[in-house]
Structure 1
């Protein structure tokens, strides 16, 4: 008969904490991925725009168009720099979430070790009881046999 150890409740709570920490880490990683993809998109757009503008500027360009181009590139560069800062912040969130998840996993593992030790002790107690019962039964059978011989 399996006995419910009180530590099972702690294990369930710790598992909930691990799940919550894993969700938080996953959310932070997804957000970082989104920010990184957006940064890559901005850089790619800037490079393509610059290449297209440079190709068309080879034929000659009025000064006003050149100023507009430079202002737009400056705006893109500012957006890229802001996205890089967001990426650094998102990376920090991922790095902050990892130790919490690891700590929760370690706590759960500790409880599981304690549960395994308790179950092993319970199994030893049951085995000793069964051995004692078997020994008593064998001794009883031996006594009965001896009484029948007399």
Structure 2
């Protein structure tokens, strides 16, 4: 079993941070998309309701029905305004989550670069040791041949 180095531990922790930041960013992005869908649905409903009302008003309509229509349109407009504010807030949450995610990605990347450099140094040491061992073995074989000749 390979002993885990301090750098590998840091990489693991940084990966956990990236995963958590990715989940947070994904969650706020999904929330924003849902809010945006709801806003679109409200606007579409208002437009359809207004078009139907306009069509029925052409044939004449009682004053009470006009007041009811206007009150309902006002209610829809209020709901649309509230939904727009919610969309702005959701967009702000997404924008606030992005730097956290980017920082965690950069931190992980930095640790991975350090690990790669460390691996390169170790590979060079291993190659030198193998070369030295091969040289020593060749020298021993040569000495043995010269003593036996």
For normalisation by structure 1, the TM-score amounts to: 0.95
The alignment partner of 2:60 has SS state of coil
Farther off after superposition, 61-70 or 77-86? 61-70
- Aligned-residue offset at 1:99: 1.2
Q: Which runs of 5+ in 2 are unaligned?
A: none
> In the alignment, does 2:88 pair up with 1:88?
yes
Inter-CA distance 15–31: structure 2 relative to 1 (3 Å threshold): same
Q: Tell me if the contact between 1:5 and 1:115 (Cα under 8 Å) persists in the aligned partners.
A: no
For normalisation by structure 2, the TM-score amounts to: 0.96
User: 5 Å matches for 1:13-32?
Assistant: 13-32=13-32
Farther off after superposition, 3-12 or 53-62? 3-12
Give the CA RMSD over aligned residues. 1.3
1:34-55 C-alpha deviation (Å, 9 max, x unpaired) = 1000000000000000000111
Residue 38 of structure 1 corresponds to 38
Q: Distance in 1 between matches of 2:8 and 2:110?
A: 12
Residue 123 of structure 1 corresponds to 123
The alignment partner of 2:5 has SS state of coil
Q: Distance in 1 between matches of 2:118 and 2:5?
A: 8
Q: Tell me if the contact between 1:39 and 1:83 (Cα under 8 Å) persists in the aligned partners.
A: yes
Inter-CA distance 21–85: structure 2 relative to 1 (3 Å threshold): same
Q: Distance in 2 between matches of 1:98 and 1:74?
A: 36
User: 5 Å matches for 1:97-116?
Assistant: 97-116=97-116
Q: Distance in 1 between matches of 2:126 and 2:92?
A: 52
- Aligned-residue offset at 1:111: 0.5
- Aligned-residue offset at 1:2: 6.0
How many pairs align?
149
- Aligned-residue offset at 1:84: 0.2
